[in-house]
């Protein structure tokens, strides 16, 4: 039980108390990296000649993936960890049930790790971050945000800072924020219980420029960030992402889930086909009073109980050139401040005036 000066005595549920004790005692490091084409698998790890001795069969320890795994273990051991987890070989991907459970639990595994070890295979220093593939992959977004402690290593496995937790390194976090578009305060925060104080559009914008090898993973890699639990169905293709957005709308009733532009999904005309449809997040568009409080996603489209309109006023007119005469009319918002739909600039329309023959007069 815990004591609190204000709440008095608080008796934690048994499972919660045991979980916290185990987490503090059984510390493990977790690995984050950009996958190569020759990563060791679960089957490779258990293809041992004898108990406790790993055998990779015909594969050489000089193979890129195996050499990386060995270096990971050496690094974790040097940091004092007896346990380390890597997504390449600690999941039996041939077992669909285990794979599904792993994807759903992935965010929590990274959040509960004592340290996340990140290997940046294309970087020697902070100046290489803008070209580093690790920052462009879909799965590494949650691997960056979920851990409470993170440690970056360059391509030669040298630490990029001398701190035990790189979230405390101002220069590294500043460069990382610039490259990813994620605010520094979000990166350094304790996100182990989810991303707090950020909207759907903003989180989606962080994922919009990232790529995944399989189409479905563009959605599956975001399950943990949005705390949704949906079936894993490899083979559904582009249906996976709009299915995710539909679940997000049902869970959070957030209008900014519809702040997208581009190709609509085949599943529903009001839902985007991928994270790439979400533009760069604009704070001015989502401040207090913005958006629509009442809407419903139906089988026919998006139902709006009330549609906010932008009041326009006449600004200017100029005569153009043309056979029948044309005019350019400019309208501007009545207020240049923020409206319920955001901040809008002038609207220009072209009008063509055509002469209409006078009908014959009938006496």
Mean pLDDT of the chain: 83
Helix (H, G, I), strand (E, B) or coil at 257: helix
Asked whether residue 144 carries a pLDDT value surpassing 90, the answer given is yes
How far does CA 282 lie from the centroid of its chain?
Answer: 16
Determine the pLDDT at residue 153: 98
Asked whether 149 and 116 are in contact (CB, 8 A), the reply is: yes
- Candidate from 47-56, 85-94, 155-164 with smallest mean pLDDT: 47-56
Report pLDDT digits (tens) over 90-136: 999 999 999 999 999 999 999 999 999 999 999 999 999 999 999 99
Tokens 């815990």 map to which residue? 2
pLDDT band for position 23 (50/70/90)? low
**335, pLDDT greater than 70:** no
Largest CA distance in the chain: 113
What is the DSSP secondary-structure string of 144-159?
Answer: HHS-SSEEEE-TTS-B
Q: 194 or 78, which is more confident?
A: 78
pLDDT digit string (tens) for 293-311? 678 888 878 887 766 555 6
Least confident of 30-39, 137-146, 175-184: 30-39
pTM over 0.95: no
Helices (H), the chain: 14-25, 42-45, 64-78, 96-112, 140-145, 170-180, 184-188, 200-207, 217-220, 223-226, 240-252
Q: Quick one: pLDDT band at residue 320, thresholds 50, 70, 90? A: low
Say which residue, 151 or 356, is predicted with more confidence.
Answer: 151
pLDDT at 50 over 50: no
- What number is the average pLDDT over the span 254-274? 91
Q: How far is CA 345 from the centre of its chain?
A: 30
pLDDT, position 36: 83
Select from 90, 88, 158, 80 the least CA-distant residue to 114: 80
pLDDT(348) > 80: no
- What is the Cα–Cα distance from 30 to 106, expressed in whole angstroms? 11
Distance CA 211, CA 135 (A): 10
């Amino acid at each position: 039980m815990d004591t609190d000066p204000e709440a008095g005595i608080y008796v934690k549920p048994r499972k919660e108390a045991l979980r916290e004790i185990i987490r503090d005692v059984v510390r493990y490091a977790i690995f984050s990296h950009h996958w190569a084409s020759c990563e060791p698998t679960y089957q490779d790890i258990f293809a041992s000649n004898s108990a406790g001795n790993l055998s990779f069969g015909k594969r050489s320890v000089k193979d890129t993936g195996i050499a990386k795994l060995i270096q990971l273990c050496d690094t974790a051991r040097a940091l004092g960890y007896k346990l380390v987890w890597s997504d390449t070989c600690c999941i039996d991907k041939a077992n669909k049930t285990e794979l599904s459970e792993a994807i759903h639990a992935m965010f929590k595994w990274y959040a509960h790790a004592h340290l996340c070890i990140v290997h940046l295979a294309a970087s020697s220093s902070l100046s290489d971050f803008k070209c580093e593939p690790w920052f462009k992959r879909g799965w590494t977004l949650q691997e960056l945000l979920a851990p409470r402690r993170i440690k970056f290593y360059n391509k030669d496995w040298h630490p990029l800072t001398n701190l035990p937790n790189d979230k405390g390194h101002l220069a590294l976090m500043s460069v990382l924020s610039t490259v990813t578009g994620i605010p520094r305060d979000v990166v350094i925060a304790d996100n182990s219980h989810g991303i707090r104080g950020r909207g759907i559009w903003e989180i989606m914008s962080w994922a919009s420029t990232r790529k995944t090898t399989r189409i479905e993973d563009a959605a599956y890699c975001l399950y943990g960030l949005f705390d949704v639990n949906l079936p894993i169905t490899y083979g559904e293709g582009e249906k996976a992402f709009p299915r995710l957005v539909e679940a997000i709308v049902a869970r959070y009733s957030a209008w900014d889930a519809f702040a997208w532009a581009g190709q609509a999904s085949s599943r529903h005309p009001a839902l985007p086909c991928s994270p790439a449809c979400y533009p760069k997040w604009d704070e001015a568009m989502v401040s207090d009073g913005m958006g629509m409080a009442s809407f419903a996603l139906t089988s026919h489209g998006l139902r709006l109980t009330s549609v906010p309109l932008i009041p326009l006023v006449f600004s200017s007119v100029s005569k153009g050139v043309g056979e029948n005469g044309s005019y350019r009319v400019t309208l501007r918002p009545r207020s240049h401040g923020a409206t319920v739909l955001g901040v809008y600039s002038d609207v220009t329309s072209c009008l063509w005036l055509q002469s209409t023959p006078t009908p014959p007069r009938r006496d």
